[in-house]
A and B are shown apart, each in its own frame.
Chain A
Amino acid sequence: EVQVVESGGGLVKPGGSLRLSCAASGFSFSAYNMNWVRQAPGQGLEWVSSISGTSSYIFYADSMKGRFTVSRDNAKNSLYLQMNSLRAEDTAVYYCARVNGAVPSSDAFDVWGLGTMVTVSS
């Protein structure tokens, strides 16, 4: 079964750091572009970051650039998001999502995880 499972969420103080993980199974992980998408409580979907299958292409939403770092380990079928200098407005459910292609492109997000909650509060 094709699936992705996020982990690593939790409560963190403003200015703190957190590392999210996404474990993939059931597909050839290195052949796919992987993404993080977040959703603040009661709000819409917001794309966070994208990394191509070989890590050659890495993109970030403007508000995350410089604070968040996406990476992947194809040997472990895993995607990561290192989040630093966290702010209250980063509070959200963070989803791992696969794009049906190897590089960031006009293909759709066809596989989603259940998400992991990140709460930034003192």
Chain B
Amino acid sequence: SYVLTQPPSVSVAPGLTAWITCGGNNIGSKSVHWYQQKTGQAPVLVVYHDGDRPSGIPERFSGSNSENTATLTISRVEAGDEADYYCQVWDSLNDHYVFGTGTKVTVL
């Protein structure tokens, strides 16, 4: 089955940039979505189709996807961005949705 690998944690100071990676075999050929989940809350879609943002999501959130790595970039990080972030794709070979292992973003 298809596997998505994320770093367990990323730490960043306020005002700086956080990069969260999502590794998968030839992930560049798939459409990647990113979700933010704050403690005790349901996930929220923050980036879809590699780099598009739903309405209401700040422009500080952006995404890219190439070859074997997709990346979620959070610019000008704020304390409110502290959360777990998950990447996700559709595995058409197995008709499964797949989530990444998740990354905890800590704002220092």
Of A10-18, A68-76, A83-91, A111-119, the one contacting chain B is A111-119
Name the B residues within 8 Å of A109 (CB-CB). Answer: 33, 35, 43, 45, 88, 97
B interface SS class: strand
Do A45 and B43 form a contact, CB below 8 Å, given A59-B95, A106-B31, A108-B33? yes
- Residue of A35, A62, A95, A113 touching B97 (CB-CB under 8 A): A35
Q: Do the beta carbons of A112 and B42 come within 8 Å of each other?
A: yes
Number of contact residues on B: which range applies? 20 to 34
Q: Do the beta carbons of A47 and B102 come within 8 Å of each other?
A: no
Name the B residues within 8 Å of A100 (CB-CB). Answer: 48
Name the B residues within 8 Å of A113 (CB-CB). Answer: 42
Name the A residues within 8 Å of B102 (CB-CB). Answer: 44-45
Docked pose: A112 CA to B86 CA in angstroms? 14
Q: Do the beta carbons of B101 and A44 come within 8 Å of each other?
A: yes
- Residue of B37, B49, B92, B100 touching A108 (CB-CB under 8 A): B49
Name the B residues within 8 Å of A44 (CB-CB). Answer: 84, 86, 99-102
Q: How far is the CB of A20 from chain B (nearest CB, A)?
A: 15
> Which chain B residue lies CB-closest to A110?
B45
Name the B residues within 8 Å of A59 (CB-CB). Answer: 95-96
Contact residues of B between 22 and 72, Cβ < 8 Å to A? 30-31, 33, 35, 37, 42-45, 48-49, 54
Would you call B98 an interface residue if the criterion is a C-beta within 8 Å of the partner chain's C-beta atoms?
Answer: yes
Do A115 and B98 form a contact, CB below 8 Å, given A62-B1, A105-B90? no
Residues of A within 8 A of B (CB): 35, 37, 44-47, 50, 57, 59, 61-62, 95, 97, 100, 104-110, 112-115
- Taking A45-B35, A45-B37 as given, write out 16 further A-B residue pairs in contact, using a Cβ cutoff of 8 Å, ordered by the A residue number: A37-B99, A44-B99, A44-B100, A44-B102, A45-B86, A59-B95, A59-B96, A95-B42, A104-B97, A105-B90, A106-B89, A107-B90, A108-B33, A108-B88, A110-B45, A110-B54
